[in-house]
A and B are shown apart, each in its own frame.
Chain A
Amino acid sequence: MQDANDILLSIKGLRIEGRTDEEWLDIVKGVDLELRKGEVLGLIGESGAGKSTIGLAAMGFARDGCRISGGEITFDGIDMRAASEATKRGLRGRRIAYVAQSAAASFNPAHKLIDQYSEGPVKHGVMSRSEAESDATDLYRRMQLPEPDSIGFRFPHQVSGGQLQRAMTAMAMACRPDLIIFDEPTTALDVTTQIEVLAAIRDIVEQFDTAALYITHDLAVVAQMADRIKVLLKGEEVEESDTRSMLANPTQDYTKSLWAVRTHARPEQPPVVEGKPVLSIRNVTAGYGSVDVLKDVSFDIHPRRTVAVVGESGSGKSTTARVITGLLPPRRGEVLFNGEALPPDFRRRSRDQLRQAQMIYQIADTALNPKLKIRELVGRPAQMYLGLRGKALEERIRELLSLIEMDPDDYIDRLPSELSGGQKQRIGIARALAAEPQFIICDEVTSALDQLVAEGILKLLDRLQGEFDLAYMFITHDLATVKAIADEVVVMKDGVVVEMGPKSEMFQPPHDPYTELLLSSVPEMDPDWLTGLLEARTTAANG
């Protein structure tokens, strides 16, 4: 097995630089990598670790504003750095294929799936057009896509996200390449869909004995897919070893900290039996146009409690938030705040009603005005609602910044663009706190963040809840987050509340079938998890 001729891709001392305004900065700082035929190597790390950049470099490609400045890239004896554009073009699609994170953004919306499938093999002269089409049908069947004979004749917007990701993997397989680069292929998908895509990818890679670079930030996912794992941090290798020994005993501190992330959990607070809920949603039905997105939804949120609202995309989680904030007046039902009905439209709510319910958004980049300084972003609610001016306002802003563990002197006059992702989210939290609310809606606040950073945010929210007696409604699709922070859980599907109750009960059987599906679909840090799960599901289906 250790035959040198077996090596398909070899990267030595790879250095890649990226340009910021005037100077070139190192993105990848001397990474070595070897991939044998038919082997799957997982590249993991936080954002900015250089994973995707290395993936693209394996194809001899550097993004706009980047350049490969040093090292060797050899693919099956071909020096990719010295190869001409024509040579590289001949390899790409034919012998090296690439599967991008967002299939929806990568497919051309104007052409049918099968036309896009055929383009590669026909251009490279591997197959004729009709051969390519029948081959596509065959691969669609192997990828377990529904209606494999006709699905290719649909346009990208006519199939679901998970199906599109599988269609893209099939497309990458079209020329039976020796190497496929998967760049976070399941990150944008729900857990339930993720399973299908992971199973299909693993299956097809095994069937054709294709080598793969699997890039992801999710350890549990990479554990299912890869033979070996390489951990990257800021463009440098931390460690590399085969999957089982890496999971069993990581040697580096950084790797250990990654492994430990999912351990944050706080004890559940006892359920509130008596007392007025701070917010209660009563029989709400709401929707857009003629479609009802929410159907008869009711639940309560008590002071100092965190209610997690869970479900896949399209389940109505965010619509619930829009009804509560008054952006979407419900068709029927009402929202009570401390026992009083809130006006359905936010424009009719009093300033105090607006102040009491704040919101923290998923993507801090779009939730903070990029042209305003931290001082104004955080200070404005305090100025507006509490009438603070001059010195008092300045002191309040500084106090809020200290609360979110950011040094006021350093940050108060910065713009959002001068902050990291986690810091931006902290500013979002400070802005919500500035209004001194009783209730905060957190809409997927950690899902755009790396695991270590996300954990910091969860801890902060936890602490603030205790200090200011806040009630949270936590919208998320990530069950690990639910475990970490929730007191009560509401599971939603297709606009209906499927199940709700205290966290401890939710994670104990018996479950509603949908809750069961959700829970069992969360990847675990066990390399045999996917295989075991699929077997169990097949047995259940047949039995």
Chain B
Amino acid sequence: MGLISGLFWLAVAVVLGLAAGWVFRVVVIAASPKPIARELRTAPLTASFGMLVILIYILVAVFAPLVAPFPETEVVGTEYQPWDDVHILGTDNLGRDMLSRLIFAARNTVGIAFITTALAFILGTMTGLLAASVGGWVDQVLSRTVDVLMAIPALIFALLLLTIVGTSIVNMILVIALIDSTRVFRLARAVAMNIVVMDYVEAARLRGEGLLRLNIREILPNAMAPLVAEFGLRFCFVFLMISALSFLGLGIQPPTADWGSMVKDNATLISFGDITPLLPAGAIALLTVCVNFVVDWQLHRASGLKE
């Protein structure tokens, strides 16, 4: 019976999710200007649901102090209180309100992940395009350096670098951005390689365009589709990496709330059959899945498949 009712509720959740996605799509299409509405109409229900959830995450993160019932770091009760009317999701190992910390963590984890991914992309794309458009020894030096960096497993490399430079949020952002930019470099270089051989790039070179303009106006716009898709995927990986580092105690430091360390801090509750520590993990999982729904849609569009 447990399995059957579980499946039933899962089916209900999926249907409700897709229905919410559909409603969201209809509303947004009606509200947005024509060109955007036309793009949005091609979105499948999964992508609409994904966009809805991402939007909710963003709203929660931005308005965290207004949404959360209690402050982020204040001890407001005894340890490990069960779910009740005041503390809707109970309290954590120090007696802080679980729901409030979940909400503030959205701000910290998602915000940091976004900044890190953006940095990784700026760095990786710039070097990747440079390698492809200049070629020769510039390409060789950049590519071989990246090969060396990629040869070391990412998590271990991050732990190593963080022990050297010391743990702080800024350091963590920079270290993860550096490691992730190597992956972005690879993609950007590969995509740009196919573009630099096009006649329009040759025409621009013959016109006497400088390197900057060549890259920004001629190559980058044509490389955007795969890069945007990769941005979504990278964002998830960065996100998981930050959570992993926090879980290991090297990421976001207490008392700042973040989903990775919240799992670690409250892990003991699992032994008592309490699912509370799974909620931050669930928050990570849901966002990852939703980002990927949207990325899949974009990839599909970029690939130009009709079926």
Contacts and interface: CB of A to CB of B under 8 A. Distances in A.
Interface of A: 19, 21-22, 64-65, 325-327, 346, 349, 351, 354, 359, 361, 363, 366-372, 376, 380-381, 384, 431, 435
Contacts of A371: 221-222, 224
Nearest to A360: B203
B300 interface: no
Given A367-B199, A371-B222, A21 B207 contact: no
Interface string B281-292: 000000000000
Given A325-B206, A354-B207, A380-B207, A366 B306 contact: no
11 contacts: A64-B307, A327-B202, A346-B206, A359-B203, A366-B199, A366-B200, A367-B203, A368-B200, A369-B218, A371-B224, A431-B203
B222 A369 contact: yes
Interface in B192-248: 198-200, 202-209, 217-218, 221-222, 224
Contacts of B217: 369, 372, 376
Given A65-B306, A65-B307, A371-B222, A366 B207 contact: no
A21 B42 contact: yes
A473 to B, nearest CB: 15
A431 to B, nearest CB: 8
B306 A363 contact: no
B143 to A, nearest CB: 23
A151 to B, nearest CB: 33
A22 B41 contact: yes
A366 B202 CA distance: 10
A380 B119 CA distance: 31
Contacts of A359: 203, 206
A384 B221 contact: no
A417 to B, nearest CB: 12
Interface of B: 41-42, 198-200, 202-209, 217-218, 221-222, 224, 306-307
A367 B306 CA distance: 25
Contacts of B203: 359, 361, 367, 431
A61 to B, nearest CB: 15
B200 A19 contact: no
- Sorted nearest first, the 10 A-B pairs with minimum C-beta distance are A371-B221, A65-B306, A367-B199, A369-B200, A366-B199, A354-B208, A361-B199, A366-B198, A351-B208, A367-B200
Contacts of B205: 346
Contacts of B221: 369, 371-372
A381 B222 CA distance: 20
Nearest to B224: A371
Contacts, number: 51
A346 B203 CA distance: 12
Contacts of A376: 217
A64 B307 CA distance: 8
Contacts of B200: 366-369
Interface core residue of A380, A381, A431 (most chain B CB under 10 Å): A380
A327 B198 CA distance: 14
A359 B203 CA distance: 8
Given A22-B41, A327-B206, A346-B206, 12 more contacts: A22-B42, A65-B306, A65-B307, A354-B206, A359-B203, A363-B199, A367-B203, A368-B200, A369-B204, A371-B224, A372-B217, A376-B217
Contacts of B41: 22
Given A21-B42, A351-B208, A380-B207, A64 B306 contact: yes
Nearest to A365: B199
Nearest to A322: B202
A253 B168 CA distance: 79
Nearest to A326: B206
Contacts of B222: 369-371
Contacts of B206: 325-327, 346, 354, 359
B221 to A, nearest CB: 4
Nearest to A18: B306
B29 to A, nearest CB: 13
Contacts of A363: 199
Nearest to B41: A22
Contacts of A354: 206-208
Nearest to A19: B306
A192 to B, nearest CB: 27
B197 to A, nearest CB: 9
B280 to A, nearest CB: 41
A419 to B, nearest CB: 14
A22 B202 CA distance: 35
A311 to B, nearest CB: 21
Nearest to A349: B208
Contacts of B199: 361, 363, 366-367
Nearest to B217: A372
Contacts of A346: 205-206
Nearest to A416: B200
A361 B198 CA distance: 11
B104 to A, nearest CB: 40
A366 B201 CA distance: 9
Nearest to B200: A369
A319 to B, nearest CB: 14
A368 B218 CA distance: 10
Contacts of A19: 306
A359 B209 CA distance: 15
Nearest to B202: A327
A381 B218 contact: no
A325 B202 CA distance: 10
Nearest to A325: B206
Nearest to B42: A21
B44 to A, nearest CB: 14
A421 to B, nearest CB: 15
B57 to A, nearest CB: 30
A207 B171 CA distance: 79
Nearest to A428: B203
Interface core residue of A325, A369, A372 (most chain B CB under 10 Å): A369
A104 to B, nearest CB: 19
Nearest to A363: B199
Contacts of B218: 369
A363 B217 CA distance: 20
B25 to A, nearest CB: 15
Nearest to A367: B199
Interface core residue of B217, B221, B306 (most chain A CB under 10 Å): B306
